[in-house]
């Protein structure tokens, strides 16, 4: 053991709280993005996915209105129930450029497969009062780069899973105005692994962070129906702030083997969505959505260990979402759908990290709905998502430079839905 490493171990042994502060700062410096900056999902496998979610706040034709726009539940008669499901698969392959000074591979294909599941229900209390409930995931993903790739000091593997239960209520004020809203109870689980380098020491340390938490928020909604062929919808969702309480475990290098309690404060920010649905005639309808998400709320990431807190600048920007789509009704039984969407870039390359390889996003979707009879409707959706090059330009005094881009960064989703009246 060298004189230098003996000094480190002695310091940690004599000052456990100093160690907590040191490790906290090392951890958040290497993982400055985590999953908190992840954009909300647009993929719920509902019929609106067939038009890239364009006009989801205004179309209000089935039980998924309980989530997309609670006020739109007033358009439904009787009780309706919808089940949705699907499978996401894709590729996220990073290509380090020549300026990268950290040894290691490219991480291979870090994106695997993930299921999509959702359930929605609307119950009619009267012609004007409706109750609804939805159960689905608002945000979540998983990436696995392996242990020895060049970006291991940012992330080796990460997963965030959330499950949200949202009860809602709606009231029809008059023939052209309905209002609604509800509360959201979210349960989330976070897991992250990464390596930590130390100056003048040959062996890296390794850290594993996990945690879970319940958090709550609320939503408000309005539906306007100026004519039988035109609907306008606006929804607002408050921010949700889970505090992922769990354990931080370390091993290797000067870290030794520690297991410390930790809290990771993340913010899923507020957002506003406005949508329009307009029927040109009995066969064609146009749909559109504009949305704003307050990701600049994530100015800092807070990680607390043994009552010591580290603050890391996030530098994320607010994002805008734009979507347009169309319906073409072949006959009383079949409805064709298509749509495209664009999301703006949430972060610059100098602040982007490999645990969230998202740049600007493009979506292209195709869908089909079949009304089997007066009680059942079936739907099938195919969606392609391009997450952009997601360039990374990162440097660290301890670990070196890590630069490059994702040559392949896309996902393909096949989803279905069934609605019962």
Mean pLDDT of 346-357: 84
pLDDT tens for 194-212 read 887 776 666 778 888 888 8
The confidence score (pLDDT) of residue 209 equals 81
**For the whole model, what pTM was predicted?**
0.86
| Whether the predicted pLDDT of 241 surpasses 50 | yes
pLDDT tens for 374-418 read 999 999 999 999 999 999 998 765 678 889 999 999 999 999 999
Residues of the chain with pLDDT > 90, as a percent, come to: 52
303 vs 196, more confident: 196
Distance, CA of 35 to CA of 411 (rounded, Å): 18
Outline where 2-102 has alpha helix (H).
3-14, 16-30, 56-59, 65-68
Residues of the chain with pLDDT > 70, as a percent, come to: 83
Highest mean pLDDT: which range of 18-32, 40-54, 134-148: 40-54
| Whether the predicted pLDDT of 82 surpasses 90 | yes
The confidence score (pLDDT) of residue 4 equals 29
| Whether the predicted pLDDT of 19 surpasses 60 | no
Q: Vertex 413, ends 409 and 414: CA angle to 5°? A: 160
| Whether the predicted pLDDT of 267 surpasses 90 | no
| Whether the predicted pLDDT of 297 surpasses 90 | no
pLDDT tens for 305-321 read 666 666 555 678 899 99
Distance, CA of 131 to CA of 133 (rounded, Å): 7
Residue ranges of domains in the chain, CATH in brackets? 10-420 (2.40.160.60)
Residues 6 or more apart in contact with residue 360 via CB below 8 angstroms:
342, 343, 344, 345, 388
Considering only CA atoms, which of 182, 320, 177 is closest in space to residue 238?
182
| Whether the predicted pLDDT of 31 surpasses 70 | no
Mean pLDDT of 209-232: 94
Do residues 260 and 210 lie in contact, with contact meaning Cβ atoms separated by under 8 Å?
A: no
Q: Cα dihedral sign for 390, 299, 249, 8?
A: positive
Phi, psi of 175 (to 5 degrees): -65, -20
Do residues 159 and 142 lie in contact, with contact meaning Cβ atoms separated by under 8 Å?
A: yes
The DSSP output letter for 14 is: H
Q: Cα dihedral sign for 3, 399, 39, 406?
A: negative
Mean pLDDT (the chain, rounded): 84
The string of DSSP codes covering 253-273 is GGG-SEEEEEEEE--B--EEE
Q: In the numeric block, which tokens belong to residue 40?
A: 């909300």
Distance, CA of 3 to CA of 7 (rounded, Å): 6
């Amino acid at each position: 053991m060298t004189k230098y490493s003996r000094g480190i171990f002695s310091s940690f042994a004599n000052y456990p709280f100093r160690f907590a502060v040191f490790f906290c700062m090392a951890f958040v410096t290497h993982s400055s993005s985590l999953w908190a900056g992840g954009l909300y999902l647009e993929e719920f496998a509902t019929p609106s996915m067939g038009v890239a979610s364009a006009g989801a706040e205004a179309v209000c034709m089935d039980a998924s209105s309980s989530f997309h726009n609670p006020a739109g539940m007033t358009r439904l008669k009787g009780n309706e129930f919808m089940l949705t499901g699907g499978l996401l698969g894709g590729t996220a392959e990073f290509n380090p450029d020549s300026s990268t000074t950290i040894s290691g591979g490219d991480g291979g294909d870090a994106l695997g497969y993930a299921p999509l599941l959702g359930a929605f229900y609307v119950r009619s209390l009267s012609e004007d009062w409706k109750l609804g409930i939805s159960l689905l995931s608002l945000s979540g993903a998983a990436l696995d780069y392996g242990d020895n790739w060049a970006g291991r000091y940012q992330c080796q593997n990460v997963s965030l899973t959330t499950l949200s239960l949202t009860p809602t209520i709606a009231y029809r004020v008059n023939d052209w105005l309905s209002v609604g809203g509800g509360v959201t109870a979210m349960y989330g689980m976070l897991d992250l692994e990464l390596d930590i380098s130390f100056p003048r020491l040959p062996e890296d340390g390794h850290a594993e962070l996990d945690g879970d938490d319940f958090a709550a928020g609320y939503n408000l909604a309005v539906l306007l129906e100026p004519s039988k062929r035109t609907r306008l919808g606006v929804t607002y969702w408050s921010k949700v702030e889970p505090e992922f309480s769990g354990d931080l475990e370390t091993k290797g290098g000067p870290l030794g083997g520690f297991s410390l309690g930790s809290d990771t404060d993340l913010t899923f920010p507020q957002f506003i969505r406005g949508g329009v649905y307009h029927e040109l005639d009995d066969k064609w309808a146009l749909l559109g959505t504009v949305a704003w998400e307050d990701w600049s709320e994530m100015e800092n990431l807070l990680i607390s260990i043994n009552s010591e807190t580290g603050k890391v600048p996030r530098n994320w920007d607010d994002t805008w979402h734009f979507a347009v789509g169309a319906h073409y009704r072949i006959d009383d039984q079949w409805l064709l759908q298509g749509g495209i969407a664009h999301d703006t870039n949430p972060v610059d390359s100098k602040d982007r990290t490999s645990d969230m390889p998202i740049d600007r996003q493009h979506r292209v979707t195709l869908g089909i709905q079949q009304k089997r009879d007066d009680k059942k409707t079936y739907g099938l959706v195919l969606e392609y998502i391009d997450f952009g090059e997601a360039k990374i330009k990162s440097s660290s005094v301890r670990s070196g430079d890590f630069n490059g881009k994702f040559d392949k960064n896309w996902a393909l989703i096949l989803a279905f839905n069934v609605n019962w009246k």
